Amino acid sequence: MARDKLDDILDLPLKEYIALVIFAIVYVLIIGRIRFKIPIWIAMSVGAVLMIVFQIVNIESAAKSIQLDVLIFLFSMFSIVSAVDRSGLLKLVATKMMSKAKTPDLLLMVIVVGMGLLSAFLVNDTIALMGIPLIIYISKHVGARPVIFLIALAFGITVGSAMTPIGNPQNLLVAVQSGIPLPFTNFLKFLAIPTVVNLFLTWYILKIYFKKDLMLISHNYQDNTILQNVKIENPRLAKISLVVLLATIAGFFVSEILHFLHVFDISISVVALIGAAALYASSGQRYEILKSVNYAVLIFFVAMFVVTGALWSSGAISLFMKYLPIPNPNDILQSSAVISAYSITLGQILSNVPFVALYNHVMIANGFTGTYVIQWMMLAASSTIAGNLTILGAASSIIIIQASESKGIKAFTFFEFFKIGALVTLVNILVYYLFVALLGV
């Protein structure tokens, strides 16, 4: 009886507004994570609990909204990349790249382009964490302001991660939820070339913007030969993790070929899980690798699925989406422009991963099936690039700020990031739009 009364009180319109209020609370907590040091996974978890407590979504529906294939994929890739990182192999590759830079301009290019390409296959958040101590060390070694290379790292890993479905979490959501065929192949087909172009354009913009700083560095610049002394910490783990990583990436392509030939259908989540299982079976550091997995991100995704699922099922999204332009599946130019505009603007409010989780529902509801590959690629690219407009657009930028400041190094400010990020984002999104949307017409 009490349950019936509660359902009567919380009729659909009221549920919509309560859902929006709860989401507003989550948003305030996410924004406040910089000032109040609230982890983003806690902010999202609070929202998930409130959605259930206020019966915006019941426990059964909340459980069904959690996408296990995404969690399996993330856990598996985190395990593999953690092993690569723990072995010292990832640090060795990065330092070898940087040691080849004989001038400040080339060093800047290596950070933007080199680290960006690494993020396409090793997840941008991982490269952010690994790159910060290297950036701080190199900045002191060459007598540069750390903020120059920290911004370069932030922009580089954001742009580079757009290239593949494993470069960042929002791309994975697009690959899994959209139903596009051959996700790895299609991501590389549509996004590889414009991403590489954007990496070099981003480097050039930063090179011009920091011209005076780079000229000051060049007067006393020393080759980074000291970096060549870095050694692999665990050779056995390095060999095992490298083989597993390469085999897993190859497995993604093989699975798509088998799917294309209608021989065997296996998802990229299962391929990643097989790779992780092989790693744990052959590694002597199973506990250490398991312990180093980023479980906070997994909790964040569980909570995010509950929050976004509740927002959609309650009808809250329709309260404001009906007043905004709707992408037309039959008009590539219009739909790509609308999707890009939403990604750039709403991505700053929601951050890119929650935005994509919500907007996937909008696109599917408006008829965007897996056959509309171009529009899904524009969503992946534009939502990723949105992370370069402000520090709130991408979690990797927050990671760089928090990790560098924890080491006593002052990172970039909101406005310093925005001044450069506005131009970088504009140039990047134009390149993606011209390449992906116009070539698809």
What is the C-alpha separation between 124 and 44, in angstroms, rounded?
A: 21
d(CA 309, CA 64): 9
The burial class, CB within 10 Å (0-12 / 13-18 / 19+), for 388 is buried
Rounded Cα distance between 98 and 24, Å, is 43
For the chain, give me the number of helices (H) and strands (E)? 25, 0
The pLDDT value given to residue 299: 87
Write the burial class of residue 408 (CB in 10 Å: 0-12 exposed, 13-18 middle, 19+ buried). exposed
Q: For residue 386, what is the DSSP state?
A: G
**Given this model, what pLDDT does residue 77 score?**
84
Q: Alpha helix locations (H) across 32-67?
A: 33-36, 40-53, 59-65
Please, where are the H alpha helices in 100-234?
Answer: 104-109, 115-122, 124-142, 146-160, 169-177, 183-209, 211-219
Q: What is the pLDDT of residue 9?
A: 41
Q: What is the pLDDT along the chain (441 residues), one digit of tens a residue?
A: 445 544 544 444 677 888 888 888 887 776 665 566 677 788 888 999 999 998 888 888 888 888 888 788 888 888 988 888 888 887 777 777 777 777 888 889 989 999 899 899 887 877 887 778 778 877 877 777 888 889 999 999 999 999 999 888 889 889 888 889 888 889 999 999 999 999 999 999 999 999 888 887 765 566 555 555 667 888 899 899 999 989 998 888 888 888 777 777 788 888 889 999 999 999 888 888 998 887 887 888 888 888 888 887 877 776 666 677 888 898 999 999 999 998 998 877 767 887 888 888 889 988 999 999 999 999 999 999 998 998 777 777 777 776 676 667 776 777 888 889 999 999 999 999 999 877 766
3-state secondary structure of 56: coil
CA–CA distance, 386 with 377 (Å, rounded to integer):
14
Total count of domains within the chain? 1
Range of the domain at 26: 2-440
Q: What is the DSSP letter of 413?
A: -
pTM to 2 decimal places: 0.79
Give residue for tokens 């259930």.
52
Q: What angle do CA 1, 10, 45 make, to 5 degrees?
A: 105
